[in-house]
Amino acid sequence: MKLTIIGTGYVGLVTGACFAEMGTHVICVDVDEQKIEGLKRGVMPIYEPGLEPIVERNYKEGRLVFTSSLEDAVRETSIYFIAVGTPPGEDGSADLSHVLAVARGLGALIDRYSVIVDKSTVPVGTAEKVRDTVAEELKKRNVSVEFDVVSNPEFLKEGAAVEDFMRPDRIIIGTESERARKTMHDLYAPFTRSHERMLYMPVRAAEMTKYAANAMLATKISFINEIATLCDRMGVDVESVRVGIGSDSRIGYSFIYPGSGYGGSCFPKDVRALIKMAGDAGVKPKLLNAVQERNEDQKHILPQKIIRHFAQGLKGLTFALWGLSFKPGTDDMREAPSKVLLRALIEDGAKVRAFDPVAMETAKRELPAEWFDSGALELCEHQYDALDGADALVLVTEWKSFRFPEFERIKGLLKSPVIFDGRNQYDPATLKALGFTYFGIGRGQ
């Protein structure tokens, strides 16, 4: 089989590479010519564990092709995955301009039965919009070409994207067309060898499933963060509570880790978009609003703890920051809690020496140039370099290399032995015994 992926970002590149790995011929299209040229030279545009060798191997073997010409791709394939970005618009709704631009492009080019797959996260009703847009373009050309639009939302996690794609919990296919269903079934067959993972449903249900899944996960995080805030006020360690409730199989342990709030390119924008969708449908989304509000507040909790501890003000102080990416395993800093923390510290006059195992290049691109120019922010080559002469260590992303650090070394490098742990990685009693002043999230302080 042959297919085209349009949009070669986190989702598009992983999808393309994984299909190619299973033997499918894949053409990856992107409007970003620099990205395409880089990929042809073997330069990965993103960090994703395990992805590079798959891309390299399949590119070399000719199963994975990169181009910026949709026209070239349409000549060779009749299955199109739309995997372009759907960033939040001004009013919180998902911006569909890239998706619809692709639909127009396809409508202007296709000349045989085609299956167009919405892989991007898109609001309920988007498949109909894509269908109408393609139909309009065909009408302009005065041609009649059959096509189906399918919703196939993606559930991969950055940091484990290849594994998630190769062994998905489920593959959601939203379509009312038997012909498109058969195409999707055949395409995904190599991923469902051990047991059936395909779930077929109406297209609008598939679109809603993606938002409902992300909103549920975001709700779990905001729930435990709210409990953590209560715990802080009431002298309770939330970590005991977390284990206490997680052991209930109806609740489970996943996604109830208290921390500095959720970030990334999905949860914040998808919760916002679902709120907008609810409003448009005449529903007041009370729970979703609360989930979002709690998360915004959560990102400020760690800086507030720091400001409270250094009551004389942050001017003249230096902080070592461990972690920049929104979560471990990725270089993605979209809506990362580290950004809120950095802004709070720097605007209060502090300097920050930061380290992240993979997100340093992203930080150089995405953080304000004046922070670097003024010396307010310095990126350090090694996690221990960041500590040199700092007044405290602040951990905001729970990379594995931060989990069991050399505490004596940390103590020796810091000016004062203070740790602000935004992900509850450390045990307060152990750190106290080692002579640290320790602040976590919801540890009853």
Ligand X SMILES: NC(=O)c1ccc[n+]([C@@H]2O[C@H](COP(=O)([O-])OP(=O)(O)OC[C@H]3O[C@@H](n4cnc5c(N)ncnc54)[C@H](O)[C@@H]3O)[C@@H](O)[C@H]2O)c1
For residues 150 and 122, is the Cβ–Cβ distance under 8 A?
A: no
121 binds ligand X (CB under 6 A): yes
Q: Using the minimum distance from each CB to ligand X, give the nearer residue, 85 or 428.
A: 85
Task: Answer whether 88's CB lies under 8 Å from 95's CB.
Answer: yes
Distance CA 47, CA 329 (A): 8
Among 183, 180, 186, 217, residue whose Cα is nearest residue 202: 180
**Residue 127 binds to ligand X (criterion: CB under 6 A):** no
Smallest gap, in angstroms, from Cβ of residue 12 to ligand X?
Answer: 6
Provide the strand spans (E) within 280-329. Answer: 318-322
Whose CA is closest to 357, among 317, 385, 329, 388?
Answer: 329
**Contact call for residue 120 and ligand X (CB under 6 A):** yes
Exactly one of 5, 11, 106, 346 binds ligand X (CB under 6 A); that residue is: 11
Is 231 annotated as catalytic? Answer: no
Residue 394 within binding range of ligand X, rule CB under 6 A: no
- Tell me how far, at minimum, the Cβ of 269 lies from ligand X, in Å: 7
DSSP lists the bridge partners of residue 88 as 94
Three-class HEC string of 54-109: HHHHHHHCCCEEEECCHHHHHHHCCEEEECCCCCECCCCCECCHHHHHHHHHHHCC
Q: For residue 220, what is the DSSP state?
A: H
3 state DSSP class of 442: coil
Q: What are phi and psi of 115, to 5 degrees?
A: -110, 120
Q: 29 or 345: whose CB is closer to ligand X?
A: 29
Could you tell me where the beta strands, DSSP code E, fall in 260-336?
318-322
Structure tokens belonging to residue 140: 């302009």
Of positions 4, 19, 24, 35, contacts ligand X by CB under 6 A: 35
134 near ligand X, rule: CB under 6 A: no
Beta-carbon count within 10 A of 297 CB = 15
Is position 266 an interface residue for ligand X (rule: CB under 6 A)?
Answer: yes
Nearer to ligand X (CB atom), residue 48 or residue 421: 48
Among 55, 65, 74, 84, binds ligand X (CB under 6 A): 84
209 lines the binding site for ligand X (CB under 6 A): no
The helix/strand/coil state of 286 is: helix
Binding residue for ligand X, selected from 4, 8, 222, 229, defined by CB under 6 A: 8
Candidates 6-14, 106-114, 254-262, 295-303: pick the segment binding ligand X (CB under 6 A): 6-14
Specify the stretch interacting with ligand X by CB under 6 A; choose among 8-16, 225-233, 373-381, 390-398. 8-16
**Contact map string, positions 140 to 179, toward ligand X, x by CB under 6 A:** --------------x-x-x---------------------
The size of the interface with ligand X (CB under 6 A), counted in residues, is 26
- Counting contacts by CB under 6 A, is residue 101 touching ligand X? yes
Cα torsion at 13, 16, 18, 19 (round to 10°)? 170
Q: Which residues are catalytic?
A: 266
Question: Contact residues for ligand X (CB under 6 A)?
Answer: 6-12, 29-32, 35, 83-86, 98, 101-102, 120-121, 154, 156, 158, 265-266
